[in-house]
Amino acid sequence: MSARKLGFGALRTFPFLDENMEKQWFAPRPELAETGTTIFTVMSRLAQECGAINLSQGFPDFNAEDVLFEHVAHWMRSGHNQYAPMAGCLALRAAIAAKVEALYGTRYDVEHEITVTAGATQALFTAVTACVRPGDEVIVFEPVYDSYAPAIELAGGTVVRLQLAAPDYRPDWAAVAAAITPRTRMIMINTPHNPTATVWTADDLDRLAALVRDTAIVVVADEVYEHIVFDGATHASCARHPELAARSFVVSSFGKTYHITGWKVGYILAPRALMAEFRKVHQFNVFTVNTPVQLALADYMSEPARHLGLAAFYQAKRDFFRDALAGTRFELLPSRGTYFQLARFGAISTLPDTAFCEYLTRDIGVAAIPLSAFFADGRDERVVRFCFAKNEATLAAAGERLRRV
């Protein structure tokens, strides 16, 4: 048998396999047959190759405050470099509990109802894995963040997709009611919403609560942009709604809040019974999260202004970016939360949205994300998503280039 090239170009042989066995010995999971590299990785790589301004992937191009780094260094030098408790450092869980109670009026038990996670994606995946069984149905809202469906399918569940209709991308509660069946195990919501930048209201949560009342349906609330809500609006958290809090996993992200997406630290809130199931999985797929970073975050959270000021900080960036695109042929859709801006380009091009994003990256020098990437059927509404979590100089340069389109 000839050698095969595997991995990063290394040559390996498997003398214990004959040629036919070597072709058949590994069968990929069918649930992942259609799963490729995420569009975020693809567009960021293309932006780098082309020297384009990267407004595609959702991360800042600026640092957190130096004091946060100093807190991390302090705890590292103080010898806090071994495993943290599985649920997270007590100081951080206490800080999270205090923040949530101050904002939403709900007191989560530090010992049994708060877990620190390796980012929000891990929290979402673990919540699904802990609750969804083969044959269960899980309702999601499209356009939907790309990690939801694979988690559901790997757990043996069936994804039930409901559409958020442009341009407002509001939930259709009659459609939600019609989609609920005896097999519905979970409903996954995301507010403020990525990619559409819409924000659910307290009335939306009341409608959701009415639909799941007297059922065994679990709610997973992806609230990683909880502090980025614009124009004086208030974030409607499931943690604030007593009826939903009693059946919900609520997920948040320090990466989004403190401009440290690469640290991959988040947290999840849930009533005791749900959290017990969550931790059964968490202890084996993560076990625990970086100790000195947790302790540093607990110190940093002592100043509430650091998260309470985030809405005004990003609203200024939103307004700056929208002004930079004024006079272009892009149609800017409302951006009520998150750090994303959707734009229709139908007046500019008849290209499919993925091809248009490639054109923007290669020829104009600005990378964006096609909205079709958030739909299972690739539906193309000729809409792209820009990320404005950037320095004003970056946004100004991007606006100058986009005005040439």
pLDDT tens-digit profile of 260-288?
999 999 999 999 999 999 999 999 999 99
**How many degrees, rounded to 5, is the angle at CA 132 between CA 225 and CA 269?**
35
Token representation of residue 201: 């209201």
Distances (CA, A) of 399 to 80, 367, 386: 45, 12, 11
Give me the pLDDT at residue 9, please.
42
- Report all structural domains of the chain as residue ranges with CATH numbers, in order of start: 39-58+309-402 (3.90.1150.10), 80-302 (3.40.640.10)
Residue 384 has pLDDT above 90, yes or no: yes
The amino acid occupying position 140 is: V
Residue 393 has pLDDT above 50, yes or no: yes
pLDDT tens-digit profile of 86-107?
999 999 999 999 999 999 999 9
Give me the pLDDT at residue 16, please.
58
Q: How many residues does the chain have?
A: 405
Residue 245 has pLDDT above 70, yes or no: yes
pLDDT tens-digit profile of 338-359?
999 999 999 999 999 999 999 9
pLDDT tens-digit profile of 79-89?
999 999 999 99
Separation CA 74–CA 81 (nearest Å): 11
Residue reference for tokens 């949205």: 353
Separation CA 144–CA 378 (nearest Å): 12
pLDDT tens-digit profile of 307-319?
999 999 999 999 9
Separation CA 262–CA 265 (nearest Å): 9
Residue 26 has pLDDT above 90, yes or no: no
In terms of Cβ atoms closer than 10 Å to its own Cβ (0-12, 13-18, 19+), residue 349 is middle
Separation CA 148–CA 125 (nearest Å): 7
Give me the pLDDT at residue 22, please.
56
What's the gap between Cα 233 and its chain centre?
A: 21
pLDDT class of 38 with cuts at 50, 70, 90: confident
Task: List strands edge to edge, sheet with 137-142.
Answer: 114-117, 266-269, 248-253, 218-222, 184-190, 137-142, 158-163
pLDDT class of 10 with cuts at 50, 70, 90: very low
Give me the pLDDT at residue 142, please.
97
What would the mean pLDDT of 235-255 be, rounded to a whole number? 98
Count of helix runs (H) and strand runs (E) in the chain: 16, 15
pLDDT tens-digit profile of 128-170?
999 999 999 999 999 999 999 999 999 999 999 999 988 899 9
Residue 178 has pLDDT above 80, yes or no: yes
